[in-house]
Structure 1
Amino acid sequence: MNKKAFLKVKDHSVSGEEFDLLYDSEFDFLETTPQPSKEKLPEYYKSEDYISHTDSKRNLFEKVYHVVKTRTLKRKLKLINKYSKNEISLLDFGCGTGDFLKVAKESEWEVFGVEPNDQARQIANSKLDELVFTSEEFLKFEKERFDVITLWHVLEHVPDLNTHLALFKKLLKPNGTLIIAVPNYKSFDAKIYKRYWAAFDVPRHLWHFSRTSINKLMMLNQMEVVKTYPMLFDAFYVSLLSEKYKTGHMNPIRAFCVGCLSNLKAIRSKEYSSLIYVVKNSKN
């Protein structure tokens, strides 16, 4: 593969270490280098500020996050219902504290989750009657088990990228649906903040995708992107954190302006801060 240096980025939330982002010209994605070993990687998630692994509401920022999350859960459910009519089996990979699965279960979906973080998995299982499993247990699901597999801001965290994509394809039923939400390193807010862009989030984010890279990866695994949707709130959330990393303060007014401008420019460019990809499995 042809890879070249793209940017040097700091881990602002846990270790303070610096990592290189290498550009892969074949797939148009960035790769975090060096990537921590599987044994060391969990250490980079040990932070009280890693909000997706807790249900805490300690401050205004976290309270707003959970209010927005409650609203987006309903939109996520509406999305999978749109592309999965009369289908009921759902796996949420990297399900965090299980809130999306809880909403889906209440709407009569048969739900299962996978969450490698022990703390988040325990919280999720308290809501879902032990329906959330470890990454090792995930390998025990039978072939063509699920109508829908969702990864909400998870694919960028996954080691052995192609191995996992092949597993998702194997677990999906023919013509099943894979929903992937990931940050977009070609967005306007990414270009504004550069090495301070919070969605780089190294080394927890091992990969950094563009629209081109997602399409190429799906084609490589005999799947097809059939629709793309923007995640408008992400431009504001990421800009707020990016301001903190760059200046030491949230600077909500400037972050709001950058978020607005990013979403406005993306109307034409389609390069939103984060994107949801609806992917269909082949019928073969």
Structure 2
Amino acid sequence: MTTLQMETLNACPLCGTAALHHTLTAPDYESHTGDYGIDECGDCGAAFTNPRPVEADLPKLYAQRSTVDFPALDSGLVAHLRDFAIDRYLADPLRCLNSAPAEHGLDILDYGCGDGALARGLVRAARKHGRGYRITATDFHDAAPPRLAGIESIRYVPQARSQNEDVRYHAIFLRHVVEHHPQPDRLIRELKTRLHPGGRLFIEVPNRRSVWARAFGGAYCAYNLPRHLFHFDARSLTGAIERGNLRCERVALAHTPLLGHSLGYLLSRKIQNTGLVGVATYPVQVAVDALARTSSTLRATAIADG
């Protein structure tokens, strides 16, 4: 079992308000490090894990690339469906980026690249659109994820080294990343300095207002305690972006499979979101969320004005 140094927060990490409301307590279903609570700020509406691991210990939670954040693609069909989903996810951001003049191509950063699925999607998109994308991927690890091995058009840089680079980007993707950071506004503020004027952050996070969060309670896999340090709704995500000194252009509802792992947590069984159960139940998940006028994820676009 991983040993973590913990901290307990007495005020909201985003706005500093001490008026906190405890919403639930749930275990770490992945590596069994203990039970964790989720508190909600009475002022800005942010929800956050409390207590939580200290920032210096966070890399320990991803050391093996074996948690829910690194999906196991156990069949060619599932891998193909995931690539299709990534391509659909990229369609709107790249339509926006491709419409802007870029004589010398576009510099794009996949921040917190995980298993490299989004970076590989950018390579496919560059071929499809005939665009010159200079793609950089970064994460906690010293070495690139195995699925990026041998792809010369993707430059992998460990985060410790990436932070010291003087490189500006037209776009930075944070797909299921911001919820892992102890101070999302600080992360956004830091990444703003790495954007060209008019550059964009494309953010996707789980939506804690999903109907499935109410249905599964602490077994809702999108809570992913203690790896997810923040649990966003549209209001708190917009607030984090604005506190990071970017303009929030839009927050949209979106979907990603989550019933597999949630059922697995509830039933104490190994069930993958990207396995047959997760894929088979995905249409039901989307339909129920649509009826409830909510979603499993939120997608935000933030702009560095000036």
TM range (shorter): 0.7 to 0.9
Q: Which residue of 1 aligns with 2:171?
A: 148
Q: Percent identity?
A: 19
Q: Which residue of 1 aligns with 2:110?
A: 92
Q: Is the 8 A contact 2:23 2:37 kept in 1?
A: yes
**Number of equivalent positions:** 272
Q: Secondary structure at the match of 1:191?
A: helix
Q: Secondary structure at the match of 1:199?
A: coil
- Cα distance, 1:230–1:162 mapped onto 2, change above 3 Å: closer
Aligned alpha-carbon RMSD (Å): 2.7
Q: 1:127 aligns with which of 144, 151, 154?
A: 151
- Are 1:242 and 2:259 counterparts? no
Q: Which residue of 2 aligns with 1:274?
A: 297
Q: 1:50 aligns with which of 67, 73, 77?
A: 67
Q: Which residue of 1 aligns with 2:7?
A: none
- Are 1:104 and 2:122 counterparts? yes
- Identify unmatched segments of 5+ residues in structure 2: 1-16, 127-131
Q: Give the helix-richer structure, 1 or 2.
A: 1
Q: Is the 8 A contact 1:262 1:273 kept in 2?
A: no
Deviation at 1:203, TM superposition (A): 0.8
Distance 2:245 2:202 in 1: 15
Q: Is the 8 A contact 1:229 1:275 kept in 2?
A: yes
Q: Which residue of 2 aligns with 1:186?
A: 209
Q: Which residue of 1 aligns with 2:90?
A: 77
Superposed CA offset, 1:237-276 (max 9, x none): 212211111123559499558614432224xx3x211121
- Cα distance, 1:169–1:241 mapped onto 2, change above 3 Å: same
- Written as runs of structure 1 = structure 2, the 5 A alignment for 1:182-261 is 182-232=205-255, 234=256, 237-249=257-269, 252=277, 255=281, 259-261=285-287
Superposed CA offset, 1:14-41 (max 9, x none): 1251101111223312111222123432
Q: Secondary structure at the match of 1:131?
A: strand
- Identify unmatched segments of 5+ residues in structure 1: none
Q: Which residue of 2 aligns with 1:167?
A: 190
Q: How high is the TM-score relative to the length of structure 2?
A: 0.79
Q: Is the 8 A contact 1:96 1:124 kept in 2?
A: no
Q: How high is the TM-score relative to the length of structure 1?
A: 0.84
Superposed CA offset, 1:84-124 (max 9, x none): 12341101100123232233245121111111134654653
Q: Secondary structure at the match of 1:203?
A: coil
Letter in 1 for 2:245: Q
Q: Secondary structure at the match of 2:217?
A: helix
Q: Is the 8 A contact 2:36 2:51 kept in 1?
A: yes
